[in-house]
Structures are given as structure tokens and as C-alpha cells.
Structure 1
Amino acid sequence: MTARLPRITLVSTGGTISAVGRDRLDLSRYGDTNRHRELCALLDEIPELAAVAEIHPEVRPALPSHGMGLADLLDLGRLVRRLTGEPNIAGVVVTYGTNTLEETAFFMDLVCPPGKPVVVTGAMRPASGLSADGPLNLLNAVRLAASPGARGRGVLVLLDDTIHAARDATKAATNRVAAFRGGEVGPLGFVESDGTVVFHHRLERWPAQGAFDPSSLTGLPRVDVVVSYLGADGAMVEASVRAGAAGIVSAGTGAGYPTPAERAALERAAEAGVVVCQASRVAAGRVTPRPEAVPHGFVTCGNLNPWKTRLLLALALTHSRDPARIQPLFDR
């Protein structure tokens, strides 16, 4: 008797991995064609999957990832959380466009309790392209989702044989196949050329991982990101407040420093009840609490980038608007 293969649900949402360009050398403007290969056609190109797992497709509308809205994100989060709760499913793989993959993977990490593996993958070259990377990425994502070592690690990102934690994964190049990085943490491990899954980091949890249940949420509060630059005034902060933002993420310079004019506007926003979270526009490093920020009730993001900070703050605001209760969710 042979052992039964693990059952992996494959959630397809579109993106470069299924995109079809004008010809095999259309590796950059393929999105203009608005053409995609059906999931069944993609799976037919990877017969090796049959030796790894029992695949059960879950097809979603094909959307560019930069066209996804918060309602789409909530819907996807609910779906993946529900799938991980089904007893006959060993893991979930989500194919997604790389433009906002880091944000969506992070959001799913916040709403899916760590347990069964959830792996997000995509491609940097379209399905029609010369040396398309999507087929191997998909095969390796299934290998990872079927691996016992992936259990309990939360949502993982897999591209170019490399495993990243959803919390740390970020797109660091526009078109390169090795576009994703794991920040200061680096990759958690790799899927080797023979299919072996190897982890180099121990399993580690953080407070916000799986902390939110999206099933009862009808929407998310508005949270805006205001990016600082030399000579920036408070106009963007004030516009955000007028637009009804419940929270503002300040992507400050250096270790989290907005300009003096932005700082004054952020303090006025906090006094008006808007929760302000201080982040940095710098690619690596922590934003640490400063004593002078405490009277104004600012939250600090730790080492999360502004885009992920926005999503965590939005979810946190569905529970509380007290900065003292929100801050522990950002602490690692």
C-alpha cells in the first residue's frame, strides 16, 4: 500500500503566473493584453504535481494584484481561513500577482491561525514567456505546503526556490526573477533542486500572527500612508484627516522622523482621535518608541514596512483605538 498524498487546495487569483503576453519575449508589457491561461491549463503543464499532492483547485476572478481592494482582501482572507479549518486539507497554496503579494501574504498571516501551511506564490515572468518561472514556483509551493516542517510557521512566501516569512517578505526588484527578499531576517529556507524542503530558522511566533478573525468584518477602517520627504508640509496629513481616516501611517525619514511640519500635523491628528503609527521609508531597521512621542499616543511599527503597518493598524482598529493596546501587536 502506498501512502495517500496530502490534499492541497490551490487558490488561483491571477497575476503574472497565468498571464499571456504578445509573444515569448514579452516579459514586461504582458499585462496590457489582459489575457490569462486557465488554471487547468497551467496544471496540465506540471504533471509532476501528481506525485507530490492531490490538488483541489479553487478558482477566483483573475485580477492584477495592484487592482485588489480591501474588500477583495477580506474576501480572500475569509476563504483561506475557512480552507485551513477543513479537516481533510493539509495545506493551501495561493497564486497571486507579485506587485502587492507582500501585503496580501502579510494580511493572511494576520487572519489565519498558524497551523496548516499557507503558501503564497507567483511569478516574475508570464506563462507565455521564455523561461517562465511560474511552473517551478507552483510545484515548489505545493511541495512546501505539503511539508511537515511548514506547519505552525504561519503564511509563507515561495518564489525562486526561496522561502520567506510573510511578515518579512518584500519585493525588492521590479522584474528580476529573484525579486523577493526577507529583509534583515533573510530567507527561512529553500526548496532544493531535488524537492527537499530545508528550513534554516527555528519556528517563531509573534503577537499579531493569526490574531484577527475576518469572518465578522464587513470592512476595514480607512488607514492612509503619508510618505515623508525633504520639505514636506502637513497637507497630506490634513487631507487624510478630512477624508475620514481612522489611522495614519507616517513613513518618516531615517529611523522614523517626519518633517517638523508633518510632525505638528500628526500631533493634531492624534489629538482629534486618529491613531498615528510611526514607520520609516527606509528598507531595513526598526522604528523604536521615543519618549517625546508618548504624550501624543503614537504607535511605532518596529521593523514592519509602511504598507504592512497599514494593514495591521487597520485590523487593530477594528478592536481598539487605544494606542497602548495596539502597540503590543507591533512588538516582536
Structure 2
Amino acid sequence: MLVTPPRVALVSTGGTIASVGRDRLDLTGYAEIGDMRAAGALLAELPELATIARIEVVELPNVPSHALGLDGALAVARTARRLAADPEIAGVVVTHGTNTLEETAFLLDLACPPGTPVVVTGAMRPATGLSADGPMNLVNAVRLAVAPAARGRGVLVLLDDTVHAARDATKTSANRLSAFRGGELGPLGFVEGDGEVRFHHAVEPWAARGAFDPAGLGPLPRVDVVVSYLGADGALVDAAVAAGAAGIVSAGTGAGYPTPEETEALERAAARGVVVCQATRVPTGRVTPRPEAVAGGVVAAGDLNPWKARLLLALALTRTRDAVEIQRLLSR
């Protein structure tokens, strides 16, 4: 009996996975060329995908991910949410540059209700590079998108055979194929060499997952990130307020400690109605909320890195300025 493969929507946004280098050994300078292949060209080189799924391509503008603004990321989120809501589509795969992949994947996790799998993938080597990783990443992303075990887990990130939760995935190497890590929780699972998808633990529930519909959102409120360092004063905090920031994420040292001068500036900002989110510049660990701080308009990022906390705070500010409600969305 002939079984019809499931439908998978492929949302193409460009990035290294589609990039063309000068030659097969150009693994670093290809971005300067700015040439990218269309998704159809990538699929033409992967006839094996036809045995896994029927791929329907949705082409969005091909841009390097470091050039993708919030408007562009919201367009990806709107597209993914719309496709995931189609009962005829078994899964959605988004190809994306790795520089800001973790941020767009996190935004998708905020925008797409758990259910139909949404998988974000990319590559560390260009499409023309010797031993390019993009083709296998794309195959495995499709395998993951149609896997029954992937349903209900929120947005997933797949590179180097490894599955991460979008909330936790972060790029930890500028060059290596195994660039992405899942924080202290580690990977959720793997796509094995024979195509089997194996999960080792579940995704923790989270109030903000799928909670924001980007369809009706205009430009997001301005939220700036201020990174602390030895001897930092409050000039950058004051500059963010002067630029019109509705929120500020403070990437403090250790468990979330800005300098005394930065603290004074953040207190001035909070007094003016700016919502302050305290995060840490440290790769892992948690900034714990303090009730007295929340009462004063200062929330804690928990285990979110500053870049992801910024996105969640910006979306939250489209609904409320209540620090208690924003803290609920940030907390896991």
C-alpha cells in the first residue's frame, strides 16, 4: 500500500545554509559576497526529502540573520504561526542564519502555540563549502518536524543532529559545527543516523509559550540591553531612556549585579516608568526575582539570556506594564 508522505512547510529566510562562497574552501568569507541560493535550489540537491515529506516552500527575503530586524523576525513569526495552524500541515521548518537564530527561534516559541512542530535550522558552513552541514541539517529538521514525538514541545532548534528547546538554545561557538548548546538543561534529544528521533526529556511548561499572536502587532516597544563591566557608569542606561526605551534589560555580572552607578541609573529609569529586567551576562545560571524589586518595577530574567529577555519584555509591553504579570511570563 502506497503511503502519502506528510506535508511540511519550509520557510526560507537565507543565512549560511543558503550562502555561496568563492570556492569550496571558503568557509569564512562567503558573507562578504552576499550571494544566496533559493530554497528550491537547496531542495533540488536533496531528492531524499521526497521520501520523508511533501515540501511546500514559502520564500521570505533572504538576508544575513545579523541584518534581520525586529520587523523581519515578526514576519517570520506571523508566517510560521499561520502555517502551523493549517491542519493539513504536519510540521513547519524554518531555515535561518545562525548569528541570531536563537533570537528568532525564541520569538517563534512566543508566537506559536504548542502543537504542530516548528523546527528552526541553519548551517555553520555555506552551501558550497566542502563538507557543508546544511543539507543534513535540513533533512533532519524535516524528520523532526514530522515526528509524532515532537508535537506539543514548542519550537525546536535542530543543528548537528541535536535537538534543543528554543527557550534554551544558544550559539556558543562562532565557527564549530556543534555551535549550539541547550544551557544547563542540555539537548532535548537527537536525530539518529537512521532517522529515528529520540527525546531524552520533556520541555518544561511555560506561561509565555505561544502566548503572543504577532498578526496584529505593529512595531514593538523599544527595549535596550545594557551590559555591565568593571567600572561601568550609568551613561548607557541614561542614553537608553533618552532614546525612548520602554524597557531596559540589564546584563549584570554574576547572578545579576550591575555596578553601583548603573544601579542608580536603573532606579532613575524605573522611577520614570521604564520597566527594568535584571539578567546576567554569565552564560548559565538564574537571576532570581525579588518581591521587593518587582514591587518597584524591576523584574528578573530567570534563566533567559539578555537577548531573549529583551524580546519577551518587548512583547509583554504590548499588553501590560504590570511588573507582576511580566514576571509571571518570564518565569518558568
Q: TM-score interval w.r.t. the shorter chain? A: over 0.9
Answering whether residue 225 of structure 2 is matched by residue 221 of structure 1, we say: no
Shift, 1:36, TM fit: 1.2
| Range with greater deviation from structure 2 (119-128 or 195-204) | 195-204
| RMSD after superposition | 0.9
Asked if the contact 1:92–1:119 (Cα under 8 Å) also holds between the matched residues in 2, the reply is yes
Answering whether residue 110 of structure 2 is matched by residue 129 of structure 1, we say: no
Shift, 1:295, TM fit: 4.8
| Structure 1 gap ranges (5+) | none
Shift, 1:218, TM fit: 1.1
Aligned position for 2:78 = 78
Shift, 1:291, TM fit: 5.4
Percent identical among aligned pairs is 69
Asked if the contact 2:245–2:274 (Cα under 8 Å) also holds between the matched residues in 1, the reply is yes
Instruction: Provide Cα deviations, 1:55-114, integer angstroms capped at 9, x if missing partner.
Output: 001111110000011111111111111101112111100000000000000000001101
Aligned position for 1:308 = 308
Please give the alpha-carbon distance, in whole angstroms, between the structure 1 residues aligned to 2:205 and 2:294.
Answer: 27
Asked if the contact 2:294–2:323 (Cα under 8 Å) also holds between the matched residues in 1, the reply is no
Asked if the contact 1:74–1:219 (Cα under 8 Å) also holds between the matched residues in 2, the reply is no
In structure 2, what residue type is equivalent to 1:80?
A: A
- DSSP-derived class of the 1:184 partner: helix
| Range with greater deviation from structure 2 (78-87 or 120-129) | 78-87
In structure 1, what residue type is equivalent to 2:82?
A: R
Please give the alpha-carbon distance, in whole angstroms, between the structure 2 residues aligned to 1:309 and 1:275.
Answer: 12
- DSSP-derived class of the 2:185 partner: coil
Answering whether residue 37 of structure 2 is matched by residue 40 of structure 1, we say: no
In structure 1, what residue type is equivalent to 2:199?
A: F
Aligned position for 1:326 = 326
In structure 2, what residue type is equivalent to 1:140?
A: N
Aligned position for 1:142 = 142
Instruction: Provide Cα deviations, 1:198-222, integer angstroms capped at 9, x if missing partner.
Output: 0001243211100111111111000
Asked if the contact 1:9–1:57 (Cα under 8 Å) also holds between the matched residues in 2, the reply is yes
Aligned position for 1:239 = 239
Asked if the contact 1:252–1:280 (Cα under 8 Å) also holds between the matched residues in 2, the reply is yes
Distance verdict in 2 for CA 1:273–1:93, change over 3 Å? same
| Range with greater deviation from structure 2 (290-299 or 106-115) | 290-299
Aligned position for 2:286 = 286
Aligned position for 1:209 = 209
Please give the alpha-carbon distance, in whole angstroms, between the structure 2 residues aligned to 1:203 and 1:15.
Answer: 27
Shift, 1:292, TM fit: 5.4
Shift, 1:230, TM fit: 0.4
Asked if the contact 1:227–1:251 (Cα under 8 Å) also holds between the matched residues in 2, the reply is yes
Tell me the TM-score normalised to structure 1 length.
0.98
Shift, 1:39, TM fit: 1.5
Answering whether residue 180 of structure 2 is matched by residue 195 of structure 1, we say: no
Instruction: Provide Cα deviations, 1:249-305, integer angstroms capped at 9, x if missing partner.
Output: 000000000000000000010010000000000000000123553452210010000
Alignment of 1:59-78 (within 5 A): 59-78=59-78
Answering whether residue 264 of structure 2 is matched by residue 264 of structure 1, we say: yes
Asked if the contact 1:257–1:280 (Cα under 8 Å) also holds between the matched residues in 2, the reply is yes
- DSSP-derived class of the 2:55 partner: strand
Aligned position for 2:87 = 87
- DSSP-derived class of the 1:318 partner: coil
